[in-house]
Structure formats: C-alpha cells, structure tokens
Structure 1
Amino acid sequence: MAAPPEQRRGPQIARRGQIKHSTHDQRLLANGDSGEFIHSDPWRVLRIQSEFVEGFGLLADLPRAVTVFGSARVPSDHPDYTVGRRLGAGLAEAGFAVITGGGPGAMEAANRGAQEAGGLSVGLGIELPFEQRLNDWVDLGVSFRYFFVRKTMFVKYAEAFVILPGGFGTLDELFEALTLVQTTKVTRFPVVLMGTEYWRGLVDWLRSSVAGTGRIKESDLDLFSLTDDVDEAVRLVVEGTVPVRPPATGPSA
C-alpha cells in the first residue's frame, strides 16, 4: 500500500484531506485577510502565554501575600464589608500583601482595609460580559481574559486563602484551593472560612453527605478552618504560613 501524501508544518504532519495548499508564511504575509485568525486555537495559545507572562512579571516581586475572596454584591454598609475591611487591615499589619479579584463588594473591602493600613493592595480582575472595573483601592492590578490563568496567579502568589461569604466564583476558588491541598499540589496553605452562620450548612453537608459516604476522608475536613473572628483568622494565617526550617545537615555540634 502506497504511503499517503503528507505535508509537514513545523512539528505537525497533515495527510489526505488535511493538507493545505498554502504555507504559514503565505497566510501571514497575505493582505486583505479577515481578522478571524486571532480567534483560532493556536493564536489563543499565544494569548494565554502572554497572560501568564504578564501576570508573572507583575507579581514576581510581591512580598508574602494572602488572597481574600468574597461576594462582589456586598454593599458598603453590609456587615460583611466591615469584616472584609478589618481583615484586609489585619493581614496588612501582619506583613502580608492582600490579593483579591479586584472587584466591588467584599473584594473592595479587603483591598480598602489593606491600603488604609499601609499594606500592598493587589487586584486580579477578569474580563466579563458585563462591565467590571478594578476598585479604587487597588494599588497594583491586572485584568485577565482567562479564569484559569487568573486562578493560577491567586494560588502561586498567595500563602493562604481567606474566604468571605460569596457565590459561585467564591465557591469555585474555595474548592480549587481545597483540592490542591488535598492532593498535595500545594502544602502549608491555610484556608480560612469567615462567617460561621453562612458556611455552617456547607460544612455540615460535607461532614454528613460527602465524608459520611466516603467521598472524602474525615481528616479532609481539617483542611480548612471556620471562624467569625478577624484576629483569629489572621492568627491562623500567620501560624499556618510560618516557613519550615530545613533539617540540619552534617554532624551536630
């Protein structure tokens, strides 16, 4: 059987009906083409790469940092806003930069508290179908197109998560963090839930329905802490992120 005709396109090989009768150079240099090429998957890879580079470049020199999540729908006169503001200040006073999603509500509160306390306030925004700008209390900010790039930045440049009451996005980040800790993709990563009344139903469900039927281990419930007290939340972060001293080597003195 004769080998089918093939076309090599860099590391790619095309055969039969997948062979193109033009080259990458021809298509790149052609005039009058539409802008549809920027929506192709290979082009998106470059755009994704550029977002990682942009995020790494912006955040590489951050001091120790904690990411705070919470609802964008919390008004400034809500008790959760007050808690978020106090939390941001407490983390800043403990020497941490405060990272949020950069939006309004609880995120703004944490950024505001950090900035007012003299700490570094960071916002990592996301492109959404509806307009959402970085809040005015962000000192250092960047907006991303892709959620998964943004989520990488949240984890890579933070040493802990503190989770205020929130919706789907907040829950997404919570379970992302717990999964990474459970699977040891990250270690020594405190996850603190603020608001016992808000989170109690979820915690009870995890204990009775999820751990109770063997979907997770009972010990997995120890991967997070639950509190109403800002000072305790800051203490849990500080104690949970103390750097581990490497073991001594060589003969002892």
Structure 2
Amino acid sequence: MARRRPTSLRTSVEDIAASKRAPQTPQTESPTYKLAFADDDFLTSEDIRGVRFQLEYLKPEFHLRERGINSTVVLFGGARIPEPGKPAWAAKNETQKANLENSARYYEEARRFARLASETAKMLDYKEFVVTTGGGPGVMEAGNRGAADVCAPSIGLNIVLPHEQAPNSFVTPDLSFNFHYFATRKIHFLMRAKAIAVFPGGFGTLDEFFEALTLIQTGRMDRVPVLLFGADFWGKVIDFQALADAGTIAPDDPELFTVVDSAEEGWDVVCRFYGLEPTEDVFLGD
C-alpha cells in the first residue's frame, strides 16, 4: 500500500537492499545482523506470535479501509455442498452422497442471496453490504459467485489448512486475503458484519455461528440479523428449545436468529431490520 514520505527518509525496502550489499563477513552473515523485519526466522518464531496476530489484523484492515468498505454481509456454510447438477465430491458413502446432492439447493440459495445483497451494495457504491465469505468452495463459492453474477466486488477470507484451501475463482482478486490464525480471521468476519447468513455446514460453520451468537448475546457485538438457512437441517442438528428448557440459555435467546428457507425470505428480514427498500434478483444468466 503506497504511503507518502519525506524524500529525505530511506524506506525499509531500500535498507533491506543496502544490507544485502554489505561485504560478506562472519558478522554480516550472522542471523543476528539481519534487519528484524526482514528476518523470516525471527518473524515466525514463537515469541513473535503477538506481532503476527497484529499483522494479520492490520493487513486486511488497511486494504478494506482503502477500498472504503464500511459494512459486509457474511455468508457461512459448508465447503462440501456441491453446485446443483455437480457430483458430491466430498461424499464418503452413499448416505452422504444423497444428502449432499439434496443440499445442493443451498448453493443456489446462497448464490441468490449474495446477488440480492450485492444489488443493495451497488446502490451504496459498494461501501456497504459487501458480500464476504471464507473464500473457499461450496457455500463460500456460491456467495462470491452471486456477487460476481451482478459484477459486484466480494471479499474472500481464506485460511491455510492441512489440506490446502485455494480461493475460489469468484473472489475479487484484490479482496482475497489469507490467514494463519482463525482468531484474526473471525475478527474480520464480524467487525463489519451487518448481516450473517448461516447455511448448512460442519464444525467450522457451527463454530462461526455460535461465535456470532455469543458476541451478540453478551453485548460485545451490535445486534444484526442472523439468518439460519434450512429449517429442516437445523431442526435436526440442534434442539434450541431443549437448550432453553434446560436453562443453559435464556428463554428468548433463540430470538437472536431467524430461520429462513429462501434467499428472498432471508433478504427481506435484512431489509426490514434496516428499513431498506427490498431488492430483486435481476440476474438473467444460467
């Protein structure tokens, strides 16, 4: 990111280049001679973890501020949910294959929901309600794809995983970020979120959903629409009433989210919450 500076000041890049031109001696070849910010071993050491946390927060923050993005619409959901008509690549048995193929409708709902959000973002010069996903496949791809359908920018917050996750091809390239720490990634998911749409998913989706609910419940985050897509799925996976009956959550805590089944139903909840004019899905493509 470009920064103005007085012409008399040397840049860090210039100093790195200058240090490499120093005569090769035992002193200059020692790891201790390296400039701290150019020393990969030092920067990736355990003692510098706090600095890396800060850097992972600051880099996306600088770029998002530079783009003037003030608020987002976040889509969470399973990476394993296929596009309709495509094979369930993640299925490990016939039961999973049938269920994942049946869940493919959520890919299309996520795509349409992202289009609706992006039509509102367009009216606000893409400063508000910008679609944001985890940047990967499945529901994440559907969200970024929905924005791309209407030529809108969208954000992808990828993370390095044991099985490498690559950004899907629909993320806006200069809004494609990569994280090492789940914690800093979660900060960027939620700090600008004006709406959170949660589609069927696995451990990661559940983690993100409950993190958002906890922050809202405890007043650490402003109340925003939290949408659970798929009454049938969530009714089987989590018995919220049982939690309330057990007294482990407040009786009105299930009111922190709204269960919906369609993109239009979900976006209508967002529009009513913020007093927005409803938008229509104007996409005429496939």
Pair in the same fold by TM > 0.5: yes
Q: In the alignment, what sits opposite 1:220?
A: 253
Number of the residue aligned with 1:194:
229
Contact 2:43–2:52, Cα closer than 8 Å, also in 1: no
Matched, 1:58 2:63: yes
Tell me the TM-score normalized by structure 2.
Answer: 0.70
Superposition pairs of residues 1-253 of structure 1, within 5 angstroms: 28-29=32-33, 37-60=42-65, 61-77=68-84, 78-95=104-121, 96-139=129-172, 140-203=175-238, 205-208=239-242, 210-241=243-274
Structure index of larger Rg:
1
Q: What's the CA shift string for 1:115-163, capped at 9, x where partnerless?
A: 1123221100001111111111001210011000000000012111100
| Distance in 2 separating the partners of 1:242 and 1:42 | 48
Q: Which has the higher strand share?
A: 1
Confirm or deny: 8 A CA contact 2:72 2:130 kept in the other structure. Answer: yes
Aligned partner of 1:108: which letter?
E
- Percent of aligned positions with the same letter in both sequences? 39
SS of residue in 2 equivalent to 1:111: helix
* Change in 2 beyond 3 A, CA 1:136/1:112: same
Does the Cα contact within 8 Å between 2:79 and 2:139 map onto a contact in 1? yes
The change in CA–CA distance for 1:168 and 1:46 in structure 2 (over 3 A counts) is same
Cα separation, partners in 2 of 1:211 and 1:57, compared to 1, 3 Å: same
Kept in 1, the 8 Å contact 2:230–2:261? The answer is yes
Distance 1:67 1:79, change over 3 A: same
The answer (yes or no) to whether the contact 1:59–1:157 under 8 Å persists in 2 is no
- Contact 1:193–1:224, Cα closer than 8 Å, also in 2: yes
| Contact in 2 for aligned 1:190/1:241 (Cα 8 Å) | no
Shift of 1:94: 2.4
Alpha-carbon distance between aligned partners in 2 of 1:64 and 1:48, rounded to the nearest angstrom? 22
TM-score under structure 1 length normalisation: 0.78
- Counterparts in 2 of 1:82 and 1:35: CA distance versus 1, 3 Å: closer
Equivalent pairs counted in the alignment come to: 214
Highest relative contact order (Cα 8 Å, sep 6+), 1 or 2? 2
Could you tell me which amino acid in structure 1 is paired with residue 33 of structure 2?
L
Alpha-carbon distance in structure 2 between the residues aligned to 1:53 and 1:37: 19
* Closer/same/farther in 2, CA of residues 137 and 35 from structure 1, 3 Å limit: closer
1:18-73 alpha-carbon deviations (Å, 9 max, x no partner): xxxxxxxx98338xxx9754443321221111111102112222143100011111
Which consecutive segments of 4 or more residues in structure 1 shift more than 6 A?
Answer: none
CA distance in 1, matches of 2:215, 2:70: 22
Structure-2 separation of matches of 1:183 and 1:50: 27
